[in-house]
Amino acid sequence: MKTYLQSIIYKNTNIDILRLDLLHPDIQGNKYYKLKYNLEEAKAQKKNILLSFGGEYSNHIHALSLAGKVNNYKTIGIIRGDKPEKLNNTLSEAAKNGMQLFFTSRTNFRVLRKLVNENELEECEALLKTIVSDFDLKTHYLIPEGGTNTFALKGTQEILSTVDVEYNHICVSIGTAGTIAGIIASSPKYSKIIGFPSLKGDFFENDIKLLLVKISNQEYNNWSLQNNYHFGGFGAYIDSLVSFMNSFYDTYKIPLDTVYTGKMFFGIFDLIDKGFFNEKDNILAIHTGGLQGIKGFNEKNGNLIHY
């Protein structure tokens, strides 16, 4: 597979960017890896309907709709919250890709997320039948919110496989932690993995440890988190983040998204400013995609991102 590496320099510090956003014409970013083996498993189980969960701006829901369209699967998206009067760009494109959308309460959504993550399939089926009347585990293949399960972890362990340069720091943004877990497990021991959570909270460290146990019994000590760059959560932002993203694009011609990569690169540059990295460090930053969300962000907030 072709490697999309692009080098930039900030204050004499070199950063190589692994452009997963250029990986696939339809299913871009880390979602390509998360869905790769889930699609194979659905085929092995002879299930032709993919069902998953997400918020109204979910990159995962959008990518799954495309994966279904490209690979001839029917797709269903269970969306958190009430159905809006008008679908935003993310959900509108998902629907155009053939995905059936069902909206459910935040309470139901939390219960479903827990049941799927804990593999309580009978209880999950009973609740899903109240939302999707013809739901049947015999024909529907369930994928958790964000796509993170054991098959996704198998895929995310392949992200670094096309990179043959040695890096002492590898940076990646975090949503459901499936991508960083795969990178930690597959990285050389001399590389320090730095995660940038997109949500506030102290639960990510435990989530990552639980995912790593699913991959291997070995102990991983080469990773840490930078918890000060979430800007309030998934949908939150401040003017300085938007200004940074626009300036970053003007300088390097690389688009970022407001939920993940924008926050990560803001954090990387801020850490360089503060002396966390030095000029001799060889840094790899993973661009996980998510660019479809820019249209929805601008739609909601008034075209603040100018690319």
Percent of the chain exceeding pLDDT 90 equals 87
Cβ atoms of residues 20 and 287 within 8 Å? yes
Whole-number Å distance between alpha carbons of 241 and 232: 12
Q: Which of 138-152, 167-181, 226-240, 267-281 has the lowest mean pLDDT?
A: 226-240
Q: Return phi, psi of residue 131, to 5°.
A: -105, -45
Res 2: pLDDT: 65
pLDDT band at 139 (very low <50, low <70, confident <90, very high): very high
* 41-98: pLDDT as tens digits: 999 999 999 999 999 999 999 999 999 999 999 999 999 999 999 999 999 999 999 9
pLDDT band at 157 (very low <50, low <70, confident <90, very high): very high
Res 90: pLDDT: 95
Per-position DSSP letters for 212-281, written without gaps between them: HHHH-SS---SEEE--S--TTSTT---HHHHHHHHHHHHHH-----TTTHHHHHHHHHHHHHTTSS-TT-
The overall average pLDDT reported for the chain is 95
More confident residue, 131 or 296: 131
pLDDT band at 28 (very low <50, low <70, confident <90, very high): confident
If you average pLDDT over each of 125-129, 276-280, 296-300, which comes out highest?
Answer: 125-129
Q: Given this chain, do its domains 5-24+158-301 and 30-147 carry the same CATH topology?
A: yes
Question: Does the pLDDT value for residue 304 go beyond 80?
Answer: yes
Distances (CA, A) of 179 to 13, 66, 193, 249, 265: 25, 20, 11, 24, 17
Q: What is the mean pLDDT of residues 185-191?
A: 95
Token pair for 173: 């943004």
Question: Does the pLDDT value for residue 3 go beyond 80?
Answer: no
* 88-125: pLDDT as tens digits: 999 999 999 999 999 999 999 999 999 999 999 999 99
Structural domain boundaries in the chain: 5-24+158-301, 30-147
Res 182: pLDDT: 98
* 4-13: pLDDT as tens digits: 999 999 999 9
Q: Which CATH class is domain 30-147?
A: alpha beta
Q: Which CATH class is domain 5-24+158-301?
A: alpha beta
Q: Return phi, psi of residue 149, to 5°.
A: -150, -170
